[in-house]
Structures are given as C-alpha cells and as structure tokens.
Structure 1
Amino acid sequence: MTAAYDEFAEVYTAENETSLMNAYYERPATLALAGDVAGRRILDAGCGAGQLFEVLREKGAVVSGFDQSAGMVAHARRRLGDDADLRVADLADPLPFPDGEFDDVIASLVLHYLRDWNPVLAELRRVLKPGGRLIASVNHPMMVNLTHRHEGPRPDYFESYTWTDEFELHGQKARMTFWNKPLHAMTDAFTAAGFRIAVISEPHPVPEARELFPGDFEILDTFPSFLFFVLEAE
C-alpha cells in the first residue's frame, strides 16, 4: 500500500479532513474510546497525515507516530511541526521503539491492510506497558457482504480473503486492497497476542453530520462500516 498512499497522499489528506467516514465517524469514535489521554504516552500506528495525532496532542497526550508512506508522513510533519516524533516505518516490521514504551497504541484503520496479524500484534503488545491499551478500528467484516449483494456471488463471511476498493478522491482515481476477516478470527488473534478484549464497539456517526451528509448519513447510521476494539495488554 505504500506506493498507493504516496501517489494520492495529497487528495487523501484533503478528503480525510472533512469526510463523513473519517471526520464524523471513525475519528470521533476512536477519540471517544481513548477517553482522557492527558499525560499518556501514545503511539499513533499508521498515523497518515496526522489528524488524530494532532487532536491527541491537543488533549495533553505525548504522541509518537509512524506510517509506511513517506508521502503521508511528510503531510503529517507539515501539520504537526518539526518537533513532532514522526517516523517512516512499516507496521509489518519490528518497530523502532523500546519495550513497554507506551500507555496506548492507536491503530486507526490499518490492520485490515495486513493478511497476518500475529507478528504485528506481537510488536504492538511489546511496545505497550503492562495494562496498556490497543485501540483499533478496522473494516466491519459484514461490510463487503453488504457491498457485494448485487454483484454476483456473496463472499463467504467465514473465510479470510482479499478485496479491492476503487473510488475517486477529488477527481483522482484511487485503488486500495484490504484483507477481510470474520470477527472470530480477529478476536482469536487479539487473545493469542496477549490482549484482553475490553470493548467491541459499533458506533454511529456523530449527529451533526446528518445535515452535512443527508443521504450517506442514513446509510452509515443504520449499518456500521467499521468495527472498533479496546484491548488491554495482559
């Protein structure tokens, strides 16, 4: 996915700022699950252009972030300043942080790009303090079944499989590939990595989005696109 995000980093950043899915749904839900972060040491894993990093820092957290895409990290640095702890790193590789460094890791819409979660979750567990939290959001496992109901055979919910989404952002075509997993495969991976599942959440978009996105709001308000977890390191 590195090349894809490098290619449309600018238009993706612009879309992420104000879109229903990001600004009025995923980001508020993630921040609500994080709660009071003042004084907490947080790793923003897959930080993108730094929108979540910025809010967490404003709320008093001490934040570090990394992303696989150098283009996205460049946008984040312009937003956050040269003093922000930002790095180019791959979530699938060993992370450049010591053991037990963070109170929280936030993985916002990143795990679903990966086929094998086991080594990734082991690394995220390693950099967390005992009792620390992993707050993660992923594509809802039923989303593809809903999307494909009029497009030939429905995917087998119980299988892990890849699918590609093609869309347009501010006049530029984009293409992203994801791995879809059933819920039990996700929860099995979390517990195998040493996490206790504290919360599974299927939130609604924030109410003020109703007037801004009337048609899309109703769809998202009645069927979730993302699934959210709060996991505690045992």
Structure 2
Amino acid sequence: MTISNYDDFAPAYDADNAENLLNNYYERPAMLDLVGDVRGRRVLDAGCGSGPLSVLLRERGAIVTGFDSSARMIAIARKRLQPYADLRVLDLGDALPYEDGAFDDVVASLVLHYLRDWDGALAELRRVLRPGGRLILSVNHPLVFPLSVEGGKYFPIVEFPMECDFGGTQATLQTWHRPLHAMVDAFHEAGFRIADIAEPPVAPDTPAELLPNGSTRFVSFIFFVLEPEQR
C-alpha cells in the first residue's frame, strides 16, 4: 500500500531521515552552513517535521521555535526537544500565531515545494522576521522534475508526486514542481531579496558507498538565503 499523509509514516520517515544521503549528509549540513552562527538567535523552524534540524540549531545555541502540519511528526519532535523548544501543529500558509518581527531567522527545510501557492506562506514568514533577519530555505531543485519524469516540462508549475521508500514503507510525497524564475518572482513579490543561492556538494564525512557514481555533486535540492527588503 502506498500512503501520502506524513502522519501515516512519520516513524519510518524519521528513521530514514536520520541516516540517508539526501537529508543527513546533504540537505541538513548545507542548511547549517548557510545559517552560520546562531548563538542566542531566535530561530523559527517552519515545517520542522520530527525536529532533526531544530535539534542541531539548539545544540549551536539557538532559541528554537518550530511547527509542522503533521501531529505525529510534532510528537516525535517534542520527545527530542521539549521543554527546550516551543513546538506546534500548524499549516504553513495559514496565519501564524507569532508576533511581527518575532524571529532573527526562519529556516524552511524542504517544505515550500509542498505548496502550489507560495504567496501566503512567504508573506507570513516575512512578517515574523525582524528587520535584518533571514529566511534560509531549501526546495527541490527545478531540474529534478524534467530530468526524472518522462515528458516532464520545465516551465509549468505542476504537481510532482514523488514515490519514496522509507525502510520498506512506501509513500507518495505530494510536491509541486516550480521553475527557477517562478521561485525568484515569488520571493520578490513577497518582499525578499536574494542574498545567496547554493547548490553545494555533500558533507565531507559522507560515506563513499552512499555517493551516486562516486560524485559529491548532483541535482537534488537548491538553497536560498533571503532577506526582507525595506518597505
């Protein structure tokens, strides 16, 4: 049986996420490199899942707040982080229960590509950032869809169901493909400027047997550091 709700496969996803190539040796190290020194900074982990990035941010001295739409993911995150982090079940794109300028940084790790419309989510994430704050995010690289789906076209914004195996649990991740120019347009329309774009290699400690064809670089995710423009 193939399932598509994170509540249905949260434990299997969490276990796989802790040790696989794409999350453990590629995406999280890249996010941490972009975030940099977070000692004493108030960081919102938007779409925090089971909390692996939140744990690393807290270990580096951040004051962490997080939310996710999956109650089972948040339950796992709370076992790891409470009472040291405020964790809630919330949907990205809805109005967030945080004050304007509440955070020094927001991280959004592999979450925006689950949304067809980015406008509301980006507007809320900008609202809760203080002036001079940063939004650091990762999403599916825009080349993944046309390279991996037969007949997949680059330019339209289209549904991109991704079939995954998490330790024998089959799941469908209901994502959306978005071309680069549409990402950039959405950032600017929400009042952000792009401070950095990254397509990094894997972490130096990645086991060689995990690397596809021995390559430390491949098309998977793309990373952005955004800063609110002054209005």
The TM-score, its normalising length taken from structure 1, stands at 0.93
What letter corresponds to residue 183 of structure 1 in structure 2?
A: L
What letter corresponds to residue 73 of structure 1 in structure 2?
A: I
Aligned to 2:26: 25
Aligned to 1:167: 164
Normalized per residue, the structure richer in helix is 1
Aligned to 1:62: 63
Q: Secondary structure at the match of 2:203?
A: coil
5+ residue gaps, structure 1: none
Distance (whole Å) between structure 2 residues aligned to residue 165 and residue 119 of structure 1? 24
Aligned to 2:208: 211
Summarize deviations over 1:106-130 as a string: whole Å, max 9, x none.
0000000000001110000000001
What letter corresponds to residue 134 of structure 1 in structure 2?
A: L
How many residue pairs get matched?
Answer: 227
Distance (whole Å) between structure 1 residues aligned to residue 199 and residue 93 of structure 2? 26
Pairwise CA distance, 1:143: 0.7
Aligned to 2:47: 46
Aligned to 1:224: 219
Distance (whole Å) between structure 1 residues aligned to residue 193 and residue 170 of structure 2? 40
Summarize deviations over 1:138-174 as a string: whole Å, max 9, x none.
00000111112xx3x2x22111101111121111111
Distance (whole Å) between structure 2 residues aligned to residue 134 and residue 168 of structure 1? 30
Change (3 A) 1:9 1:197: same
Summarize deviations over 1:184-232 as a string: whole Å, max 9, x none.
10011101111110001101111321424143652xx342200000000
Summarize deviations over 1:7-27 as a string: whole Å, max 9, x none.
000000001111110010000
Change (3 A) 1:188 1:87: same
Identity %: 57
CA contact (8 A) 1:42 1:63 kept: yes
Distance (whole Å) between structure 1 residues aligned to residue 19 and residue 196 of structure 2? 27
C-alpha RMSD of matched pairs (Å): 1.5
5+ residue gaps, structure 2: none
Displaced runs of 4 or more, over 3 A? 214-217
CA contact (8 A) 2:163 2:171 kept: yes
